């Protein structure tokens, strides 16, 4: 059982929904990024999604693209991202960390070496947005054999024919993308999301977590109310980009977490 599995089992036992926070590793620099990540569990975050900076983030909107650029300009690399996880793990051995990004940096690092390094650092799961199920032998299956959850994205365009393929080798949880398009592009609507979540849950026993387009505590509550939890990314990254201190950003994160936990 991974930390992700254990966390969702504990939440289920308590009748609680999950709050997942996305932040970009190394934004705006290593030390401030580490301070923020270290503070997330205390702000109510159940699972941390840690963005891996990449030069061509095709699924991301401007907010997260700019965060990735800031991180890269500050010297962030895959190795430094793994070091950030190690530094976090020195004080927290329970909060799950999901690394979210693109295949190119992992491929360049070497898949076998990456999986060893990620496990050693304390990574629990991967979301690799540009590897479809047809490429599961590239990373998904080796990752699961190494003890890492491989989390797949389902979208409004994932129809009943495609859904079984998407779910086939998914573990940890299913990430439902609530809108078509890039991150931060539109607001998620619980009424639109609910039937899609129900359709996915009819096909899997995994938790279904909804992300994209959630910016407020009320939205977090509404979306978590029709799913097993929600993810907020762009709104948190934008708050950090406004020059707020880690304490200010964490205060904002707590309001979102509280919203999700009220569901």
List, in order of start, the domains of the chain with CATH numbers. 3-262 (3.20.20.70)
The active-site residue out of 5, 46, 49, 228 is: 49
**Is residue 14 annotated as part of the catalytic site, yes or no?**
no
pLDDT in tens, the chain (263 residues): 899 999 999 999 999 999 999 999 999 999 999 999 999 999 999 999 999 999 988 878 899 999 999 999 999 999 999 999 999 999 999 999 999 999 999 999 999 999 999 999 999 999 999 999 999 999 999 999 999 999 999 999 999 999 999 999 999 999 999 875 545 445 667 788 999 999 999 999 999 999 988 999 999 999 999 999 999 999 999 999 988 999 999 999 999 999 999 99
Would you state the pLDDT for residue 186? Answer: 54
Looking at 5, 27, 60, 196, which residue is catalytic? 60
pLDDT at residue 179, as a whole number: 72
The strand pairing partners of 177, in sequence order, are: 211
pTM (2 d.p.): 0.95
What pLDDT is stored for residue 123 in this prediction?
98
Give the contacts of 245 (CB within 8 A, at least 6 positions apart): none
Q: What is the pLDDT of residue 29?
A: 96
The answer to whether residue 60 is catalytic is yes
**Scanning the structure block, which residue is given the tokens 């859904």?**
163
């Amino acid at each position: 059982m991974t930390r992700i599995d254990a966390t969702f089992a504990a939440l289920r036992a308590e009748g609680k929904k999950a709050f997942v926070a996305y932040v970009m590793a190394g934004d705006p620099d290593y030390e401030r990024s580490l301070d923020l990540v270290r503070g997330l569990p205390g702000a109510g975050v159940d699972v941390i999604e840690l963005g891996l900076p990449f030069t061509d983030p095709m699924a991301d909107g401007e907010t997260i693209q700019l965060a990735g650029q800031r991180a890269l300009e500050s010297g962030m690399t895959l190795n430094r991202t793994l070091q950030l996880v190690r530094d976090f793990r020195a004080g927290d051995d329970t909060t799950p960390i999901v690394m979210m990004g693109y295949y190119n940096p992992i491929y360049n690092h070497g898949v076998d070496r990456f999986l060893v390094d990620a496990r050693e650092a304390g990574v629990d799961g991967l979301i690799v947005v540009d590897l479809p199920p047809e490429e599961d032998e590239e990373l998904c299956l080796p990752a699961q054999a190494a003890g890492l959850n491989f989390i797949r994205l389902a979208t409004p365009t994932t129809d009943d024919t495609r859904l079984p393929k998407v779910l086939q080798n998914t573990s940890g949880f299913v990430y439902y993308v609530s809108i078509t398009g890039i991150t931060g592009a539109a607001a998620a609507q619980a009424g639109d999301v609910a039937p899609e979540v129900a359709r996915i849950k009819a096909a899997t026993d995994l938790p279904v977590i909804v992300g994209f387009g959630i910016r407020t505590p009320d939205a977090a509550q509404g979306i978590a109310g029709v799913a097993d939890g929600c993810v907020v990314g762009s709104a948190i990254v934008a708050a950090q980009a406004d020059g707020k201190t880690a304490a200010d950003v964490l205060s904002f994160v707590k309001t979102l977490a509280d919203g999700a936990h009220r569901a």
